[in-house]
Structure 1
Amino acid sequence: MKLEQLARKHENNRLNQSKGIFAQLCIVQNLLQTYFDKSYGVITLKQFMLMIMVKQSTEFNEELTLTEYGKLLGCSRQNVKKLALQLEAKDFVIVKQSKHDSRALALEANKNLHDYFKEVDGENNLKLLTLFSIYDDQELAMLYKLLEKMHEGIAKLNED
């Protein structure tokens, strides 16, 4: 069975569409992770996403704890700690005690993290432009809004 056949099978009512969208999101996530894990070589996509968050918090002079990174990335503090320790071993971040909470751990970017992003920025931008080149500007804006809205649905699931 091809993905297109599976998608058509689920297009006839709201529940089936919901099932199809959920399945496609899971498949898309797996495909993206597989591609970028191979592409990045020394780091995984999940490690890369954490590195982006550390870079952003550094640029805003904001120290985040592992728990806060977990909330941003949609995973547990324990998963963030595992990723952080892997990145620390690769000399991209420093895991340290939080300035604001002595019980919590925070992450600090080091020079290697900044150098890495300088090195791969152009290539990453090209990959993203290629990935989203199939959308016109209006479709891309709509996809962005719809994904933002999906976060509201996930929040509702977590309320229950």
Structure 2
Amino acid sequence: MDIKDLSKKHSNTRENQIKGIFANLFLVQNRLQTEFDNKMDVITLKQFMLLIMIKQSYEFKEEITLTKLGSLLGCSRQNVKKLALQLEQKKFIKIIPSKVDSRASSIQPLNLLHKYFKERNEENMKMLSVIFSKYTDKEIGKFYNLLDKLHEGVEEFEDYEKD
């Protein structure tokens, strides 16, 4: 039995479909992380995602703190700091005191970060193209919008836990 067989056998009700979607999100995330970690040269997928967030904030000329990065990535400040320290050792970033909040640490991208993205962009796009090759442009648009709704649901779940 494989994942496709299992999914088909349990797709007869909304409840089973929801369970299947949830399980598949977990399985896909694990498989993507394993494959990207094997195919990327000097950084892991988690480090790559952190670099993307840092790069985006830099392009918008926004200071980005470890706490804000944790919030964006859905993990703790401590986990982000661990990743950031690894990236600092590899000379991608520098951790500096925040200009806005003296208690916080922010991230400054270094030249190697920009060089890395410039050199890896074509290969990264090829990998993403393989993953999404089965989708039409219309399906990609729908999928993108559905992921927004999924994020909204996760935010509601986070609030649900607080009540």
C-alpha distance in structure 1 between counterparts of 2:54 and 2:156, whole Å: 28
Matched, 1:105 2:105: yes
| Moved >4 Å (runs of 4+) | none
For the aligned residues, what is the CA RMSD? Answer: 0.8
Q: For structure 2, which runs of at least 5 residues remain unmatched after alignment?
A: none
Q: Cα deviations across residues 48-71 of structure 1 (Å, max 9, x unaligned)?
A: 000011111111111011110111
Q: How does 1:1-160 map to 2 (within 5 A)?
A: 1-160=1-160
Q: Give, in whole Å, the separation in 2 of the partners of 1:102 and 1:45.
A: 30
Q: 1:2 is aligned with what amino acid?
A: D
Percent of pairs identical after alignment?
56
1:34 Cα offset (Å): 0.5
Q: 1 CA distance for matches of 2:56 and 2:119?
A: 17
Secondary structure (helix, strand or coil) at the match of 2:91 reads coil
Shift of 1:157: 0.7
Aligned residues: 160
TM-score, length-scaled by structure 2:
0.96
CA distance in 2, matches of 1:24, 1:136: 21
Aligned to 2:135, the other structure's residue is in SS state: coil
Question: How many Å separate the matches in 1 of 2:82 and 2:49?
Answer: 13
Question: Structure 1, unaligned stretches of length 5 or more?
Answer: none
Q: CA deviation at 1:41?
A: 2.3
> Secondary structure of the residue that 1:135 maps to in structure 2?
coil
- The AA in structure 2 aligned to 1:102 is S
What TM-score do the two structures reach when normalised by structure 1?
Answer: 0.97
- Amino acid in the other structure paired with 1:159: D
Q: Distance in 1 between matches of 2:130 and 2:15?
A: 32
